[in-house]
Amino acid sequence: MNLLDLTKSELERFCIEHGQPKFKALQLTKWVHNKGVHDFAKMTDIQGSFRDFLSQKLNIYIPKIIQSTKSADGSEKWLFKLKSGEVIESVIIPEGSRITACVSSQVGCAVDCSFCATGNQGFSRNLSLGEMLGQVWAINYLSNVGRVTNVVLMGMGEPLLNYSNLIEFLKYLLLDEAYGLSRRKVTVSTSGIVPFIDRLRVDCPVSLAISLHAANNELRNKLVPINKKYPLEQLMRACRNYQDRAPRKFITFEVVLLDEVNDSLKDALAMSRLIKDYGVNAKFNLIPYNAYSKGVFKKPASEKIKGFQTKLQELGYVTTVRKTRGDDVEGACGQLSGIVNNRISRVGVLEKSEIAGLF
């Protein structure tokens, strides 16, 4: 059994069932998540006989890093091979004293947004708690960039469709004895799974980013098909409700800018109106479309992107344009899985040396 797959209460139960006080679970958590120790023999404040028992019953399994590619801008993309043979990706983005880990929540994604490489790949399965924690653990303790200060769930997958594992993952990120991050520094990005936005507000209200992309249902239905189930009216109401528990003053609205599709000044105005109508405090994060091999869209010219940004700023919104960090290693938004795509089912039967040649 992988210790990383045990929730906080499961680990407590494990300790109690094996004759240990409940607080041992927290000591174990500290060794593993806070100090990066994976050898039970080194956990000196845990009784010798229990340490032996732990090493018989549990292991600390980190998905195998099969490739790490550094981009010219300093960000790094890591490919992890899971026990199942599937491959997921994480991106490390260092910026001054901040080290952001962009982590994956699923293998593939069922939402199937029309501009996204992960969606294009289809859905395979949810990541387990241990597979999500393993990404952060590996970046913290196996990379030489330093400790993760911020986590964004903007890798492969729709985090709110892996809800129960997501919540347990978030709890470890926030736990002082584990990663000790503040709620502000952990961001869940979602395509808009309304019932789970409502639940997140209650269960673990971290920073929220909404992938908006369009201000009307007709266009959003095409770009983000889940909009047919949870249309903009419902999504905006969920955002408004979220605000009273949100750790930041603003909800971030992400807009992937697609040439001639949603990048006009009229689109910018419509988005700002929609948000205002619902009384949501918003910040915009514009993401120029990142092309991938099967993508059909185009990235707008930089003057258009600038114009869109200026319009939103004039309308009173803090608006940033996301640098397309890591795009030379296909680690930018929506490109994740781009290169794994066709190979995902083959990797499982290949040897490590062959994999190295593939990527």
| Least distance to ligand SF4, CB of residue 68, Å | 22
Q: Which of residues 245-284 bind ligand SAH (CB under 6 A)?
A: 254, 256
Among 154, 206, 268, 344, interactor with ligand SAH by CB under 6 A: 154
Give the nearer residue to ligand SAH in terms of CB position, either 3 or 139: 139
**Alpha carbon of residue 53 to chain centroid:** 34
Rounded Cα distance, 99 and 323, in Å: 15
191 touches ligand SF4 (CB under 6 A): yes
> Residue 17: is it exposed, middle or buried by C-beta count within 10 angstroms (0-12/13-18/19+)?
exposed
Among 67, 187, 191, 319, interactor with ligand SAH by CB under 6 A: 191
Q: Which of 123, 120, 34, 168 is nearest to 293 (CA)?
A: 120
CA gyration radius for the chain?
21
Structure token digits, residue 17: 């069932």
> What does 254 bind: ligand SF4, ligand SAH, none (CB cut-off 5 to 8 Å by kind)?
ligand SAH
Q: Which of residues 94-133 bind ligand SF4 (CB under 6 A)?
A: 109, 111-113, 116, 118-119
> What does 333 bind: ligand SF4, ligand SAH, none (CB cut-off 5 to 8 Å by kind)?
ligand SAH
**Alpha carbon of residue 27 to chain centroid:** 27
173-208 burial code (b ≥16 CB/10 A, e <16): bbbebbbebebebbbbbbbbbbebbeebbeebbbbb
User: What track of x and - describes contact with ligand SAH for positions 278 through 317 (by CB under 6 A)?
Assistant: ---------x-xx---------------------------
103 touches ligand SAH (CB under 6 A): no
Structure token digits, residue 229: 């189930």
Count other C-beta atoms under 10 Å from residue 228's C-beta. 11
Residue 166, phi then psi, degrees to nearest 5? -60, -45
159 touches ligand SF4 (CB under 6 A): no
168 touches ligand SF4 (CB under 6 A): no
Q: Which of 187, 162, 183, 184 is nearest to 174 (CA)?
A: 183
Catalytic (active site) residue 333 = yes
Give the nearer residue to ligand SAH in terms of CB position, either 100 or 191: 191
- Alpha helix positions (H), 260-359: 265-277, 302-314, 344-347, 352-358
> What does 112 bind: ligand SAH, ligand SF4, none (CB cut-off 5 to 8 Å by kind)?
ligand SF4
Give the nearer residue to ligand SAH in terms of CB position, either 20 or 227: 227
Which range touches ligand SAH (CB under 6 A), out of 66-74, 137-145, 183-191, 272-280?
183-191
> What does 75 bind: ligand SAH, ligand SF4, none (CB cut-off 5 to 8 Å by kind)?
none
Among 93, 116, 271, 347, interactor with ligand SAH by CB under 6 A: 116
189 touches ligand SAH (CB under 6 A): yes
Q: Which of 60, 186, 190, 75 is nearest to 129 (CA)?
A: 60
Q: Are 78 and 67 in contact (CB under 8 A)?
A: yes
Count other C-beta atoms under 10 Å from residue 64's C-beta. 15
| Beta strand ranges found along 109-174 (DSSP E) | 123-126, 150-153
Place of tokens 């906080």: 8
Catalytic (active site) residue 89 = yes
Structure token digits, residue 350: 């290949």
333 touches ligand SAH (CB under 6 A): yes
Q: Which of residues 209-248 bind ligand SF4 (CB under 6 A)?
A: 211
| Least distance to ligand SAH, CB of residue 189, Å | 4
Q: Are strands 87-95 and 76-81 parallel, antiparallel or unpaired?
A: antiparallel
Nearest residue to ligand SAH, scored by beta-carbon proximity: 334
| Least distance to ligand SAH, CB of residue 180, Å | 24
Catalytic (active-site) positions? 89, 333
What residues line the site for ligand SF4 (CB under 6 A)? 109, 111-113, 116, 118-119, 157-158, 191, 211
